[in-house]
């Protein structure tokens, strides 16, 4: 592919997963919500019409329907405003401090509760994660949410490529996306690079070097690696690809999607490696506590 026929742009249909509109430009969900609200207001009017003037009832009822219509039809980042409001309400009412305590969280002593009486923070609540465990084959049991399998993926330097090479990479990645037949997720994590093991290896092997200057250079380089780790300025990026199914019995389909990603993403110069049980458990632990092995 030469640079002469490189277009640089690609047209992608907007909102390809948008639900169908069935009634006056409204989706089935929007129509049900608005219809239910209208019926509720009508029943309220039947019960209040003997005591409330029509205009006094119609104004707030109309404003309520207008606000509700805007909430169910407006979107932000592809998510309905009503869903965002419900999520905000749920987050506001949920505990703010969650800890890993499968056995439960005990109440603090009386003197500690008295000392913290004026503070907003309360006793932490248990963090209930969907992952129940990792079984054979690297399958992550998600309980009622189904199951998932994981794979690591390598990163590709996109900026330093020519436009033609960039188009080839994007084409390879797009082919994989178009081939997906189920749910998939790409997770990118950036953490400070941990060079402790490399520095320890240098210090251990330095005395065995054949010349004192080599030993001194090895020890100096080990100190340099420690400085890099302490600065936390050098970052390491890890990529995970997840395929999920709603039922554990359908996990072969998710595993097939990961195996297909190995060959499909090779066209985009991305190396994909499905994880067995032990590596999958390690990846989950690192995602929950990035500094655990620091």
Q: Is the pLDDT of residue 90 over 70?
A: yes
Query: Mean pLDDT, to the nearest integer, of 188-205?
Result: 87
In the prediction, which pLDDT does 217 show? 93
Angle of CA points 73, 87, 244, to nearest 5°: 95
What's the pLDDT tens digit per position in 11-70? Answer: 655 566 677 778 777 888 888 888 999 999 999 998 888 888 889 989 999 999 999 888
Provide the Cα torsion 204, 210, 212, 216; round to 10°.
Answer: -40
Six-digit token string for 167: 């188009």
In the structure, how many helices (H) and strands (E) does the chain have?
A: 9, 12
Task: Write out the DSSP string of 26-76.
Answer: EEHHHHHHHHHHHHHHHHHHHHHTTTS-HHHHHHHHHHHHHHHHHHHH-EE
What's the pLDDT tens digit per position in 70-79? Answer: 888 888 877 8
Average pLDDT of the chain, as a whole number = 82
What's the pLDDT tens digit per position in 115-138? Answer: 666 555 566 777 777 787 888 878
In the prediction, which pLDDT does 167 show? 87
Domains and CATH numbers, the chain: 21-93 (no CATH), 95-128 (no CATH), 133-193+234-288 (3.30.70)
Rounded Cα–Cα distance for residues 287 and 150 (Å): 12
């Amino acid at each position: 592919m030469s640079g002469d026929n490189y277009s640089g742009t690609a047209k992608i249909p907007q909102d390809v997963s948008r639900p169908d509109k069935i009634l006056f430009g409204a989706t089935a969900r929007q129509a049900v919500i608005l219809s239910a609200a209208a019926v509720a207001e009508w029943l309220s009017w039947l019960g209040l019409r003997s005591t409330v003037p029509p205009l006094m009832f119609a104004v707030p009822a109309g404003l309520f329907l207008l606000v509700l219509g805007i909430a169910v039809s407006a979107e932000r980042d592809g998510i309905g405003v009503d869903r965002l409001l419900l999520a905000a309400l749920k987050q506001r009412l949920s505990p703010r401090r969650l800890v890993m305590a499968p056995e439960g969280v005990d109440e603090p002593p009386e003197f500690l509760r008295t000392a913290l009486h004026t503070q907003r923070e309360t006793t932490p609540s248990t963090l209930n994660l969907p992952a129940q465990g990792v079984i054979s084959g690297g399958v992550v049991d998600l309980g009622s949410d189904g199951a998932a399998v994981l794979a690591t993926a390598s990163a590709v330097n996109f900026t330093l490529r020519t436009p033609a090479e960039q188009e080839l990479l994007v084409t390879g990645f797009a082919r994989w996306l178009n081939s997906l037949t189920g749910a998939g997720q790409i997770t990118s994590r950036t953490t400070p690079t941990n060079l402790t093991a490399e520095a320890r290896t240098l210090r251990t092997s330095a005395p065995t070097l054949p010349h004192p200057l080599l030993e001194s250079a090895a020890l100096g380089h080990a100190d340099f690696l420690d400085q890099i780790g302490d600065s936390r300025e050098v970052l390491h990026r890890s990529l995970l690809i997840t395929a999920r199914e709603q039922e554990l019995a359908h996990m072969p389909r998710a595993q097939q999607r990961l195996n297909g990603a190995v060959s499909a993403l090779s066209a985009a110069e991305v190396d994909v490696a499905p994880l067995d049980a032990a590596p999958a458990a390690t990846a989950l632990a690192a995602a929950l506590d990035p500094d655990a092995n620091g």
